[in-house]
Chains A and B, each alone.
Chain A
């Protein structure tokens, strides 16, 4: 296997968590209540910690003195391989929770499988991450039910968020060429095989939350191949500004 392929896989793993972490970071000081604010930014911190583990590995594969900061911040939009779900903005708290839950359900399954990776380093990152991701999933599951089975208003808002975001879910379990090759090599899991369980688990939570599964959905794909929604450019403008203006700057 060549390093380019492994690099591409690692940045895909890291990018989804990183962009979601950035979105959650925007809520710092703006959460609807103090405890939620702290919870969401702690999840962001967990995700960035996990991403550092991935990108330190990716930087070593690049060689030439590259660091995790180069990998994280100095790529162009089409070189980011995150799913489009995580780019979507924090329109309101229901969007934040629906987006988080759609991602957590998949992320937890992915980590459960990645601990068996033939790549020891990725397996170690997954073993470290899985305990944290389980917490994220617990939190977003609780909030899905609380909002959906709460008031008429909170139910309506959660349903709105789901109607908007559901179209981005199938990309999570639809493999790219890179993911297929990694699955063949035993480095990454077969994510297509996870699709049934993913939707079963997700729909079970939605049922309990008294929200409905949208009908006639046109699923959206492309983020994992570098084709993003318009949201991505705005995120990168924020995210990259310091490194672009002052390359290699450090705190």
Chain B
């Protein structure tokens, strides 16, 4: 996201992903640009996945958060540049881990893990890397389902997308 006024950033920070409430949409990396146009702000957002059903809710939440501060916001959906998991901030990745979702690793780790070649995804409960993929698709399109072979914990892994 390009630099914006601090109060605007705070408002945007207050909006979270409805599927992952601990993660602000700013740390998620989906806010691309904020324009100040006459009497309103135009927020450019980009979807994580094309069919992400959270986008409409996020749009409503942004408009509402601005409205609560007496400001008007409009939301524009942009596709380019396409979102990748690299756009999630370090703070965002930590928030995911704390929430029990393994954060995306780099593409080679991802491929090895998802094809079952090598276990490199850490269990979010006990930290063991003795984990296995249960399903390539998890509770949402952006996640895969894993299970820890040590402690038995099932957990989501945020798939690497780039």
User: Chain A residues in contact with chain B, CB under 8 A?
Assistant: 35-36, 38-39, 42-43, 45-50, 52-53, 120-121, 123-125, 127-129, 131-132, 135, 138-139, 142
Contacts and interface: CB of A to CB of B under 8 A. Distances in A.
B136 A135 contact: yes
Given A35-B135, A46-B141, A128-B80, 11 more contacts: A38-B138, A38-B139, A39-B136, A42-B141, A45-B141, A49-B49, A50-B50, A53-B79, A124-B80, A131-B161, A132-B49
Contact of A49 (B50, B83, B137): B50
Contacts of A35: 134-135, 137, 145
Interface of B: 47, 49-53, 79-84, 114-115, 134-141, 145, 159, 161-162
B80 A129 contact: no
Contacts of B135: 35-36, 38-39
A131 B137 contact: no
B136 to A, nearest CB: 5
Contacts, number: 70
A104 to B, nearest CB: 13
Contacts of A135: 136, 159
Contacts of A42: 137, 140-141
A42 B145 CA distance: 13
Contacts of B80: 120, 123-124, 127-128
Nearest to A129: B50
A45 B53 contact: yes
A38 B140 CA distance: 9
B154 to A, nearest CB: 11
A13 to B, nearest CB: 13
A36 B136 CA distance: 9
A91 B129 CA distance: 40
Contacts of B161: 131
Given A53-B79, A124-B80, A132 B114 contact: no
Contact of B50 (A38, A39, A132): A132
B114 A46 contact: no
B103 to A, nearest CB: 17
Contacts of B47: 49, 128
Contact of A47 (B51, B82, B84): B51
A39 B114 contact: no
Contacts of B52: 49
B82 A128 contact: yes
A147 to B, nearest CB: 16
B137 A127 contact: no
A141 to B, nearest CB: 10
A212 B138 CA distance: 33
Contacts of A121: 79
A35 B134 CA distance: 8
Contact of A46 (B51, B79, B134): B51
B50 A124 contact: no
A130 to B, nearest CB: 8
20 contacts: A38-B138, A42-B137, A42-B141, A45-B49, A45-B141, A46-B51, A46-B141, A49-B47, A49-B52, A53-B50, A120-B80, A124-B79, A127-B80, A128-B47, A128-B50, A128-B79, A131-B82, A131-B84, A132-B50, A138-B136
A42 B51 CA distance: 9
Contacts of A131: 82, 84, 161-162
A131 B50 CA distance: 10
